[in-house]
Amino acid sequence: MKVSVFGLGYVGVVASACLSRDGFTVVGVDIYEEKVRLVNSGQATIIELGLGELLKAGVESGRLSATTSADEAIARTDISLICVGTPSRPDGSQDLSAVYRVCEQIGDAIAHKGRSHIVVIRSTVLPGTTVKCAEILREHAGDVPVHLAMNPEFLREGSAIRDYDAPPFTVIGTNAPVAEAALRELYAGIIAPVFVTEPPIAEILKLASNAWHATKITYANEIGRLAKASGVDGREVMRILMEDTKLNVSKAYLRPGFAFGGSCLPKDVRALTYFAKTESIDVPLLDALQLSNHAQIELALRRVIDTGKRRVGLLGLSFKPGTDDLRESPTVELAERLIGKGYELRIFDTAVHEAKLVGANRAYIEQKIPHLSRLLVETLDEIADHAEVIIISYGAAEFRPLLAAIDPDIQIIDLAGTFPPVFFEGKPYDGIAW
Ligand SMILES: NC(=O)c1ccc[n+]([C@@H]2O[C@H](COP(=O)([O-])OP(=O)(O)OC[C@H]3O[C@@H](n4cnc5c(N)ncnc54)[C@H](O)[C@@H]3O)[C@@H](O)[C@H]2O)c1
């Protein structure tokens, strides 16, 4: 397979060097003649450990060359990787003009070649970009088939070659089997799990990964600031925190779903942010947690309002299954907002119902939420008889019989997202983040 790489910056030149090392014929393309000249003379266009040697070897082997001509590169290759820049505009929006421009050039060149071609977007792009690129390529390539994929790059500068060879995973966003097969062949020597998915998922996944990395850094810095103000070493706090691989550095708490709540998280976040205030320490990320959490409750409320229906069945009242603890449950707040707006509510929660009858939490329920306590029902049938809308606030197996046999007129609003999608096929269903 012969490969052209459009854009000889950090991503493109590393890909060119590694692919030629792996035995592929590579034609690099850039609009800057100087970069093309450097690559053709076997020199690196950027500072990166080990890159110069690979480029030199690639040129000497005859497998690597570069050009400013898109036509020449497309004519000589079967697959093109788009690695052009996607910088921020002054207002923060993503400037995709280089990606679209290169698609026009590639599309024209494919039309001239008159033979099918594979195009792969490796640049970091917003969701929807691949669809737009497909349109541009169709417009410019005419009847010549183009197989398109979105395949984000995960390398880091400073360890680019190492990262190219051992990425966390390879993500192929495509509906084109020819493009998928070509990428699998291109990366055959790379040991990493491969995920084939829809192009917009691949697009947002790359941005979500970078936002996650930025969040981790900012979180560690804020904890460090708070630790220092308490007279302790933030590095030691985070060192031990990271040793918890059950909850802290793990898959726990990383699925989109409903707001956090309960007797600990809201109160302890408040305690920490209040402490920061008293110490005059800025912790904007920690400050934003409650704000963002509240936005999730508002979103759930909006989803119910948007149905235009009034009779609501709420499955789950406490903040998670298997507990009768209602302190700071986001579902209690949602229920109160619904009642306040005049919705007719019935609530099913086994643990809370039992606690109301016999449990230690009985006094709390009767004193703090008598208005909700009155709306608790004992059986799922009572929810089914009443509801035009059913809200799933958490995923509990006990809800299954009701959801499996639900009347097709009843709207389901899922805040938990733990039941398999097949469960809701053919039913009016809306997830809060899926
Ligand atoms: N730099 C990184 O560590 C990194 C890592 C992963 C992903 N990415 C993403 O990869 C993309 C490229 O990043 P980069 O850092 O390599 O960018 P860069 O600015 O270093 O390189 C982009 C290159 O594209 C060239 N170019 C622009 N228009 C062209 C055209 N029409 N034809 C041919 N070449 C053209 C430019 O001249 C430049 O050399 C960006 O979307 C970036 O977000 C970057």
Is 264 known to be catalytic? Answer: yes
Pocket perturbation via mutation, ligand 1, pick of 14, 18, 30 by most ligand atoms within 8 A of CB: 30
Which of 196, 228, 245 is the last residue before a domain boundary?
196
- Identify whether residues 240 and 184 lie together within a single domain: no
The reply to whether 341 falls in a domain is yes
Number of structural domains found in the chain: 3
Task: Give domain status of residue 288, yes or no.
Answer: no
Residue 354 CB neighbour total at 10 angstroms: 13
Per-residue model confidence (pLDDT) at position 356: 84
* pLDDT at 361 (0 to 100): 80
> Do 105 and 122 lie in a common domain?
yes
Q: Mark whether 325 and 345 lie in a shared domain.
A: yes
Q: Supply φ then ψ for residue 155, to 5 degrees.
A: -70, 160
Domain that holds residue 244: 198-254
CB atoms within 10 A of CB 349: 27
Nearest-CA neighbor of 347 among 312, 299, 309, 389?
A: 312
pLDDT at 364: 84
Does residue 273 fall inside a structural domain? Answer: no
Yes or no: say if 387 and 428 are a contact pair by the CB < 8 Å rule: no
CA 337 remoteness from chain centre: 30
Q: Are residues 106 and 214 in the same domain?
A: no
- The pocket around ligand 1, CB under 6 angstroms, is made up of 6-12, 29-32, 35, 83-86, 98, 101-102, 105, 123-124, 153, 155-157
- Alpha-carbon span 216 to 241, nearest angstrom: 13
Considering the candidates 18, 83, 133, 264, report the single residue annotated as catalytic. 264
What whole-number distance in Å separates Cα of residue 43 and Cα of residue 56? 6
The whole-angstrom distance between residue 135's C-alpha and the CA centroid of its chain comes to 25
Residues 60 and 138 in one domain: yes
Instruction: Examine the domain organization and report whether 125 and 245 are in the same domain.
Output: no
Q: How far is CA 45 from CA 12, 170, 331, in A?
A: 10, 25, 56
pTM, whole model, 2 decimals?
0.95
Is 90 within a domain?
A: yes
**Mean pLDDT of successive 10-residue segments in the chain (434 residues)?**
97 98 98 98 95 98 98 98 98 98 98 98 98 98 98 97 96 98 97 97 98 98 97 98 98 97 96 98 98 98 97 96 92 96 97 84 85 94 97 96 92 96 92 96
- What is the 8-class DSSP label of residue 94? B
Is 427 among the domain residues? yes
CATH code: domain of residue 53: 3.40.50.720
Within this chain, do residues 173 and 248 fall inside the same structural domain, yes or no? no
CA–centroid distance, 83 to ligand 1, in Å, is 5
Residue nearest to atom 10 of ligand 1 (CA): 123
